[in-house]
Structure 1
Amino acid sequence: MLNKLSLLRNKIDILDIKLLDILSKRLKLVKKIGVIKNKYGLPIYVPEREKHIIYLRKKEAKKKGISPKFVEDILYRIINESYCYEKTKKFKKIKPNFTEILIISHNEKISYLFKEMLTITGYDIKYIKEKDININNINNLFKNIGMIILDISKHFFKKFIKKLLLLPKNCILIDLSPIKEISIPKILKIYQGPVLGLYYFFDYQKNFLFKESIICCYGRKKKYYHWFLKQIKIWGLKIKFMDIIEHDQYVFFVESLKYFFTLIYSTFLIKTKISFNKLLTLSKPISDLNIFILKNFFLKNPQLYINLITDSKNNIANIKKYLDYINNLSFLIDKKKKVKIINIFNKINNLLKNNNLIF
């Protein structure tokens, strides 16, 4: 029996080596594709192509008696690794002769990722932290600048906005602040040049941006920065165009409410003296995810999260509505109104079905 088992395992080892050889050959082809994409300025991520590949391979897997879900999971890992291989070459530079780009940073990690991507693409970057800027001598920073990317604090913004008149003519100003109803109108009131609002929905701890989303809000003179939007598409970012009001509505549900809930959840854990270790032991992997969110949330600058929660007047009104729904649900639970609670479940279920979110 042991000899037979050993023989079968040896055959598996041989197949594993062949599989690695195939993956190596595939990645070499991917590198060649990356060179072509770079030459012609094609985006690294093409969702239609990826979706079609996975559809075909799942169909073929089913014919061979292999789980389509298993094949889908493997293909996603292979394809994601392929994107990393494509990134080893520089991206096509849309504006070869563009002047220097200035990045002023408060949230260092996210602005540094923009710096990395622009540098990889071949642009000349000047990167400076807001705390190192002498606001009274800022005109020296603006010389020969073609674009400024602002990722600055609320406090610094109040000082900086007064200096916008010193910017070179038609310098592109890109605002990364999370609440656009506050920043963009104030910028447009003072600065007459091209203005673009961007907000990122991606993990800035990554070293690549493909498959990630970014919201784009036109401010003024979009013809001046149309090339930049094309550039970030080449990086693999998915651009969602929204006006300022719609932008802030979605940022509330994606970011602000999430942070507000995390703050409540964490406070409740502390007050009830629940053991984090027992949480991890009793309900993995969900608790692992919860603890990961908590750890990342409280290790970062709290001011960023406070601003996201409190800066918009609409946020405060929506949070009050959110608390009203919690109180209403708490009342239904307390009174054991099970039929009404089930009706809420059914409504949510129908909403998910209508949006193709149930598989």
Structure 2
Amino acid sequence: MLNKLNLLRNKIDILDLKLLDILSERLKLVKEIGLIKNKYGLPLYVPEREKSIINTKKKEAKKKGISPSFIENIFRYIINESYSYEKIKIFKKIKPNFSKILIISNNKQKISLFKEMLITTGYNVDYIEEKNLYIKNDITYLFKNIGMIILDISKKFFTKLVKNLSFLPKNCVLVDLSPIKEISIKKILKLYKGPVLGLYYLFDYKKDLLFKEYIIYCHGRKKKNYSWFLKQIKIWGLKIQNMDIIEHDKYIFFIKSLKYFFMLIYSTFLIKTNISLNKMFMLSKTMDCLHLFILKNCFSQNPKLYNNLIKNSKNNTRNIKKYLDYINNLAILDNKNKIIEITQILRKIKKLPIT
């Protein structure tokens, strides 16, 4: 019995080595693809190609009696690893002779990946931290010979800096990364007559690659002047999505302001009922613990920041009152009609399309 077992294990070991050789050959081909993509400025991530590979392999797996979901997981790992091999040191630079890019940010860690991608692509980038820039002094020297300025700054600093934007070079592309576009871009467009682009990135800045991440863009003015930059972002492997400024802010309100608003309600409930967070952690499963961890750390920063997020738009306060009315209206759980209404709401949510 042991001899037969060892024989079978030896056969598996031989197959495993062959599998490693095949993966090694595949990654060599991937590197060659990376060089071609770089030469012709093709995007790192092509979702249609990835989808096609996985669907084909799942169908083949089913024919061979192998679990399609098992094969899908394997190929997702292989493809994700392939992207890091496909990425070469320098991406195709859409604007070879572009002037300097200036980044002003209040969070060095958050903007670092974006900055690194620009540098990796061969652009000349200057970075200044918000706290090191004194607006009371003459800062117009910073704007000399720059082709783009990227702003990822606090609301307070933005109010001070915005007055200096009229000194930017005529065709300098101004990229605004603030979460609420309606307020910032309106002010920018009043004081600066050049090209303006709003970006809102959704990627994890702790990663070393941007492929498969999303970035939302909102047109401000003179699209032709920054269309190349959107192409450059696609080459990095990002998925880009256009949104109207009003629509963008509407959804950011839901994502940001209401998140903190509901956290506040949840926290108030816990305090009023004298619930121990430690005991909740002890009795909770992994996913529940994650929710509690978010709750525990939600207000670790200055509470004024969250208060400002809620009140950042004129519509926010009115909307919050409206949601409170909805909650109060549904809270009468001993009413049979209300129970029916809640059930209908939950059924509608279940049917919402999620892609």
Q: TM-score, normalised by structure 2?
A: 0.90
> Which of 263, 276, 281 does residue 274 from structure 1 map onto?
276
Cα displacement (A) at 1:301: 7.0
Aligned-partner Cα distance in 2 for 1:229–1:304: 31
Q: Helix, strand or coil: the match of 2:198? A: strand
Q: Single out whichever of 287-296 and 143-152 deviates more from structure 2.
A: 287-296
Gaps of at least 5 residues in structure 1 are: none
- Give the percent of matched residue pairs that are identical in Structure 1 and Structure 2: 69
Q: Go from structure 1 to structure 2 and tell me whether the alpha carbon gap of 1:91 and 1:280 turns closer, same or farther (over 3 Å shift).
A: farther
Cα displacement (A) at 1:10: 3.7
Aligned-partner Cα distance in 1 for 2:10–2:294: 43
Cα displacement (A) at 1:111: 1.8
Aligned-partner Cα distance in 2 for 1:114–1:296: 26
Cα displacement (A) at 1:308: 3.5
Cα displacement (A) at 1:248: 0.5
Cα displacement (A) at 1:9: 3.6
For residues 1-359 of structure 1, the aligned pairs below 5 Å read 1-135=1-135, 136-266=137-267, 268-269=269-270, 272-276=274-278, 279=281, 282-284=284-286, 286-290=287-291, 293-294=294-295, 297=298, 305-332=306-333, 334-335=334-335, 337-350=338-351, 352=352, 355=353
Provide, for residues 78-108 of structure 1, a one-character-per-residue CA deviation record: whole Å limited to 9, x for no partner.
2112112222331100011111100000132
Q: Helix, strand or coil: the match of 1:348? A: helix
- Which amino acid is the alignment partner of residue 122 of structure 1? G
Q: Single out whichever of 95-104 and 267-276 deviates more from structure 2.
A: 267-276
- Which amino acid is the alignment partner of residue 128 of structure 1? I
- Which amino acid is the alignment partner of residue 279 of structure 1? F
Aligned-partner Cα distance in 2 for 1:36–1:304: 47
Give yes or no for contact 1:42–1:234 (8 Å, CA) kept in 2: yes
- Which amino acid is the alignment partner of residue 245 of structure 1? I
Give yes or no for contact 2:35–2:88 (8 Å, CA) kept in 1: no
- Which amino acid is the alignment partner of residue 108 of structure 1? K
Give yes or no for contact 1:178–1:308 (8 Å, CA) kept in 2: no
Aligned-partner Cα distance in 1 for 2:260–2:294: 10
Measured on the aligned residues, the alpha-carbon RMSD in Å equals: 2.5
Q: Go from structure 1 to structure 2 and tell me whether the alpha carbon gap of 1:166 and 1:62 turns closer, same or farther (over 3 Å shift).
A: same
Q: Single out whichever of 13-22 and 41-50 deviates more from structure 2.
A: 13-22
- Which amino acid is the alignment partner of residue 111 of structure 1? I
Q: Go from structure 1 to structure 2 and tell me whether the alpha carbon gap of 1:130 and 1:208 turns closer, same or farther (over 3 Å shift).
A: same
Aligned-partner Cα distance in 1 for 2:280–2:56: 44
Give yes or no for contact 1:280–1:287 (8 Å, CA) kept in 2: no
Cα displacement (A) at 1:120: 0.7
Give yes or no for contact 2:178–2:200 (8 Å, CA) kept in 1: yes
Cα displacement (A) at 1:307: 4.1
Q: Go from structure 1 to structure 2 and tell me whether the alpha carbon gap of 1:13 and 1:281 turns closer, same or farther (over 3 Å shift).
A: farther
Cα displacement (A) at 1:22: 2.1
Q: Helix, strand or coil: the match of 2:331? A: helix
Q: Go from structure 1 to structure 2 and tell me whether the alpha carbon gap of 1:330 and 1:195 turns closer, same or farther (over 3 Å shift).
A: same
Cα displacement (A) at 1:147: 0.5
Q: Single out whichever of 221-230 and 5-14 deviates more from structure 2.
A: 5-14
Provide, for residues 197-247 of structure 1, a one-character-per-residue CA deviation record: whole Å limited to 9, x for no partner.
111122222222111111111111111111111100111111111121011
Q: TM-score, normalised by structure 1?
A: 0.89
Q: Single out whichever of 12-21 and 122-131 deviates more from structure 2.
A: 12-21
Give yes or no for contact 1:201–1:212 (8 Å, CA) kept in 2: yes
Aligned residues: 352
Aligned-partner Cα distance in 2 for 1:126–1:279: 45
Q: Helix, strand or coil: the match of 1:137? A: coil
Provide, for residues 158-196 of structure 1, a one-character-per-residue CA deviation record: whole Å limited to 9, x for no partner.
110110111112111100000011101111011011111
Q: Single out whichever of 2-11 and 37-46 deviates more from structure 2.
A: 2-11
Gaps of at least 5 residues in structure 2 are: none
Give yes or no for contact 2:44–2:235 (8 Å, CA) kept in 1: yes
Q: Helix, strand or coil: the match of 1:218? A: strand
Q: Single out whichever of 250-259 and 194-203 deviates more from structure 2.
A: 250-259
Q: Go from structure 1 to structure 2 and tell me whether the alpha carbon gap of 1:198 and 1:356 turns closer, same or farther (over 3 Å shift).
A: closer
Q: Single out whichever of 18-27 and 176-185 deviates more from structure 2.
A: 18-27
Give yes or no for contact 2:176–2:185 (8 Å, CA) kept in 1: yes
Give yes or no for contact 2:253–2:316 (8 Å, CA) kept in 1: yes
